[in-house]
Amino acid sequence: MGLLKTFVLGGIHPPENKLSANQPIRALAVPSQVVVPMGQNLGAPSRPVVKRGEKVKTGQLIAEAGGFISSHLHSPVSGTIFKIDNVMDMSGYRRPAFIIKVEGDEWMDNIDRSEKLVTDVNFTPEEIVAKVKAAGIVGMGGATFPTHVKLMPPPGKKAEYLIINGVECEPYLTADHQLMLEKGAEIVVGTKLLMKALKVGKAVIGIENNKPDAIRQMNELTAGEENISVQPLRVKYPQGGEKQLIKAVTRREVPSGKLPIEVGCVVQNVGTAFAVYEAVTKNKPLIERVVTVTGKALKKPSNLKVRIGTPVSFLLEEAGGLPEDTGKIIGGGPMMGKAVATMDVPVVKGTSGILLMREDASHRPVEGPCIRCSKCTQVCPMGLEPFLLSRLARTGRFETAEQESVMDCIECGSCQYTCPANIPLLDYLRLGKNKVGAMIRARTRK
Amino acid sequence: MDHIVIISVAVLGILALVSAVILFFVASKFKVYEDPKIDEVETVLPKANCGGCGYPGCRAFAEASTKNAKKEKSLEGFFCPVGGNDVMKKVADILGLEIEEKDPMIAVVRCNGSFAHSPNKVNFEGVTSCSFAHALYAGEGGCQYGCLGLGDCVDACEFDAIHMNPETGLPVVNDKCTACGACVIACPRDIIELRKKGPKDKRIFVSCVNKEKGATAIKNCEVACIGCGKCEKVCEFDAITITSFLSYIDFDKCRLCRKCVEVCPTNAIWEVNFKPRKPKPVVASKPVEKPIKVEVKKQEIIMETKKEEDSNTEKSEK
C-alpha cells in the first residue's frame, strides 16, 4: 500500500462513508417542472435564445454562451418555457433561470438515444472541440469550468498528459465510481476523444484504491490501449484537486497562480469524459448527470441519473424521503459542498451529490483558542499556513494575506477539519480570498 | 601636556566650524517651505483621523485644503464631516475664504428586516463577518438585499455611533454619528446611506433596498418596498423615484410633508423624530392593522433616538 502514488504535501483521510457504493445508477423520472439556471458554469452566465411561452424539445439550445469562458445551455426536458425569472439557487440568491413545464418527452431528432457503444473516433480535433462546445459541457467534478476552453490550450503551450480524474476523494460521494463501473467503455472512448482534441499522446486515469473494482474494470478496458494507463492512488483527501492529482500522477508541480497547462497537463473528470463521449458520438448535449443522494439517516442512498433542473426534493423522494432529524442538506460532498437554502433548488451541471446531515451533526462545535499545534499547516495540500492566514483575515490585514499566498488556497477544508480548537479556518480563508480577489480586480482595472 | 589640550580644542573647533558651514549650506539648499497655515488648519481639525473627508487623516486634509485654497482660491470638495460647518468655518477663516454651509448628514440604515418582519428560514453558523456571509449566501431571512446582521458596520465605526440591536438583529445609529462614511463602505450590501440630518433631526426615508419584484420581496419580509408607486404619485415635489421596484426619496427635494408615509402599504417608508400626527377621520377609516403597525414603527424610532420618549408613547397609545 505504501508504494502507491499520492501527492506529497499535507492531506487528510476522513471516514469514507461511501454508503451508496455499488448501488446501480437508476434513471430518475422526469419531474413535472424543471428550473434551469442560466449561470451553471464558471464564468459568464449564458444568454437566453428562447422566449417565454415557446415550445422546446429535449436537447434544444435554450441559452448560448455569454462570453469566452461560458457554455451553452440546453433544455433537459420537452415542454413549454413557462417563465424566465429569478429563481433561488443553492446559496439562496435569486438568479435568472428558465422554468420549464414538462409535456411528454420528445427529443431532438439528431440525438442518438440508443445504448449501443460507438468506438469509432474518427473526428478531427476541431470537430471534437466544436461538438463539446455545442453540447455545453462543463467540468463535472464540481468546478464547472467550460470544457471546450480547457481543450484549447493557449498559444505556445502544449499539453503532454491528459489526466482523467476518477479519484472521487470526497467522502460519501460514489457517482463517479458507479459511472466507471457501468460506463467504463464509454469513458475510455471519451478519453480517446479528449486525447485527440488535445493532441496528446498519453492519458492516465487516476483512481484511488478504495475502489478496487473500478481499477480492475478500467484496467481490463484499457488493456489493449497503449496510450491509456490506469494509475491506482493511495486514498488521501483532496487528491481530486487538479493540482494534487497532477502532483500524484506526474510528480509535476503547478506553479502558484498558474494553470495546469503550464506543466503540460490537462485534467478532466470521468463524468466529463462520459459527457464528451455522448456529445461527440451521439450528439447528446449535457442535459443529465449522475448524482449521489446519500446520508446516514436516508433509507435508500442511491446514485441517480437525473435531468438538469430537477428539484432536490424530487431526488430525496426517490431515495426514501427526507428523514425527520435532518439538520442540513448539502449540495456536493461533505468537505467542499455548500448547505442549500431550500429543498426546491435544482440540480445543476456541477451537482455531484446531495448529502443529508443529521441534526446532531449539523452544528458547529464551539470555537476555542488556537493552541499552535500546527496541524492545519501539516495537512494543507498547498503548503500554506492556515492559522496565519485566518488571523490576517480576521484582523483585516489583507495585503499581508496576499503576500502569504492566500489566493493559492483551494478551499478543500482540510485545515478546518483537522483543527482541534474548531476554529473556522476555512471561513476566514474564504473571507481573505474574497477581499484579496477584490483588491486584485481593483488593481487590474486601473 | 598643555599642547595636547590646545590641539584637541583646535581640532574639534575647526571640525565644528566646517560642519556648521556645510550644514548651513545644505539646510539652505534643501529647505522645504511649509505653509504655516497647514499647522493652523490642523489644530482646528477634530483629529479623528477617520478618513471621512477622503484623505488619509487630518494632516493630509490640512495639507490638501491649504494647497487647494492657495491655488484655486476655493474650498470646494473639502469638507470635514466630523467637525461639520463649525470646523469648516474656522478652516475657511484661517485660509481667508468663504464657504457654503452644508447640511449636516447622518448614516441611515435602510433595512427593517428584523427577526419579526423577516423570520429566519435558515441558520448561519459561520464567522461573524458580513462580507463573508454576503459572498456565501443570501441571508437568514431569505432577502438577498437585506441586512445580514453580523456587524461589519459596527466594527468599522470609530465613533461608537452604531450598535446592533439584539432584539431586531439590525444596527441602530445614535447621535454620535459624524457621517464619516466608514460604515457605508463596510456594508457589503449598500444598505447604509448618508442622508441629510434634516431640520430638528426630522427625516423621511425608504427603509428598504430590495430590488426584487413586489411579490418576491414581500414573501421574505413584510415591510419590504414592493415598488407599488403610490409614494411616487402622492409626492408633490418630485422627490421620489422608483427604479427596479424600489422607491428612493431624494433628501434634497423632500419637504418632509409625510404624505408618502401615509400611503405606503407595507410601512417601508419611515418618518423619524416627527411628532405623532393627530388622529384624522381619514386614518380612522383605514383598515384596523394600520394604527398597530404605526405604533410598531414609532417604537423603533424611539429606540433610534431616545428623544421625546414620553410624549411619543403617550400619544401613540391614543
Q: What is the pLDDT of residues A135-165, one digit of tens each?
A: 999 999 888 999 999 999 888 888 999 999 9
| Pairing outcome for strands B203-206 and B269-272 | antiparallel
| Pairing outcome for strands A265-269 and A161-165 | parallel
User: Are residues A49 and A64 in contact, defined by beta-carbon separation less than 8 angstroms?
Assistant: yes
Which residues of B fall within a CB distance of 8 Å from A430?
132, 135-136
Find the helix or strand (DSSP H, E) in which A327 lies. strand A326-331
Q: How far is A147 from chain B (nearest CA, A)?
A: 25
Does the pLDDT of residue B185 top 80, yes or no? yes
**A185-189, A382-386, B68-72: least confident range:** B68-72
Q: Which of B91, B99, B108, B110 is nearest to B45 (CA)?
A: B91
Q: Would you place residue B287 in the very low, low, confident or very high pLDDT band (cuts 50, 70, 90)? A: very low
Q: B298 vs B273, B277, B295, CA distance in Å?
A: 9, 11, 5
Peptide bond just before A238 cis, omega within 30 deg: yes
Contact across the interface for A86 and B125, Cβ inside 8 Å: no
Superfamily of domain A125-282 in the CATH hierarchy: NADH-ubiquinone oxidoreductase 51kDa subunit (3.40.50.11540)
* Residue B33 vs residue A413, higher pLDDT: A413
Q: How far is A297 from chain B (nearest CA, A)?
A: 21
pLDDT of B279: 64
> Of all residues in chain B, what percent carry a pLDDT higher than 70?
87
> Of all residues in chain A, what percent carry a pLDDT higher than 90?
79
| Amino acid letter, residue A18 | K
pLDDT of B265: 93
Q: What is the pLDDT of residues A35-55, one digit of tens each?
A: 999 988 888 999 999 999 999
Which residues of B fall within a CB distance of 8 Å from A341?
121-122, 137-138, 142
Rg, C-alpha atoms of chain A: 21
- Cα dihedral: A370, A371, A375, A381 (round 10): 30
Q: Would you place residue A15 in the very low, low, confident or very high pLDDT band (cuts 50, 70, 90)? A: very high
Does the pLDDT of residue B307 top 60, yes or no? no
Which residues of A fall within a CB distance of 8 Å from B126?
424, 427
pLDDT of A71: 93
A354 backbone dihedrals φ, ψ, rounded to 5°: -125, 120
Q: What's this model's pTM, rounded to 2 decimal places? A: 0.83
Whether the domain at A31-102 and the domain at A125-282 fall into the same CATH topology: no
Q: What is the pLDDT of residues B122-140, one digit of tens each?
A: 888 888 899 999 988 888 8
CA A156, CA A141: separation in Å to the nearest integer?
27
A431 vs B129, B137, B138: nearest CB: B129
Instruction: Search chain A and give the residue with CA nearest B146.
Output: A93
B212/A contact by beta carbon, under 8 A: yes
pLDDT of B280: 56
Contact across the interface for B216 and A86, Cβ inside 8 Å: yes
What single string gives the DSSP state of each residue in B178-200? Answer: ----HHHHH-TT--EEEEE--GG
Does the pLDDT of residue B312 top 50, yes or no? no
Q: Would you place residue A371 in the very low, low, confident or very high pLDDT band (cuts 50, 70, 90)? A: very high
pLDDT of B292: 43
DSSP B29: H
Q: CATH top-level class for A31-102? A: mainly beta
B317 backbone dihedrals φ, ψ, rounded to 5°: -75, -20
Q: Would you place residue B281 in the very low, low, confident or very high pLDDT band (cuts 50, 70, 90)? A: low
Instruction: Indicate the fold that domain B36-95 takes in CATH.
Output: 3-methyladenine DNA Glycosylase II; Chain A, domain 3 (1.10.15)
Q: What is the pLDDT of residues A260-305, one digit of tens each?
A: 999 999 999 999 999 999 999 999 999 999 999 999 989 999 999 9
Q: B85 vs A307, B74, B103, CA distance in Å?
A: 64, 16, 8
A93 vs B131, B144, B216: nearest CB: B144
Q: Pick from A85, A87, A89, A91 the residue to mutate for testing the B interface (most B CBs within 10 Å).
A: A91
Contact across the interface for A91 and B125, Cβ inside 8 Å: no
Q: What is the pLDDT of residues A304-357, one digit of tens each?
A: 999 999 999 999 999 988 998 899 999 999 999 999 988 889 999 999 999 999
**Domain extent listing, chain A:** 31-102, 125-282, 375-445
| ipTM over 0.90 threshold | no
Residue A294 CB-half CA count within 13 A: 23
Q: Would you place residue B99 in the very low, low, confident or very high pLDDT band (cuts 50, 70, 90)? A: confident
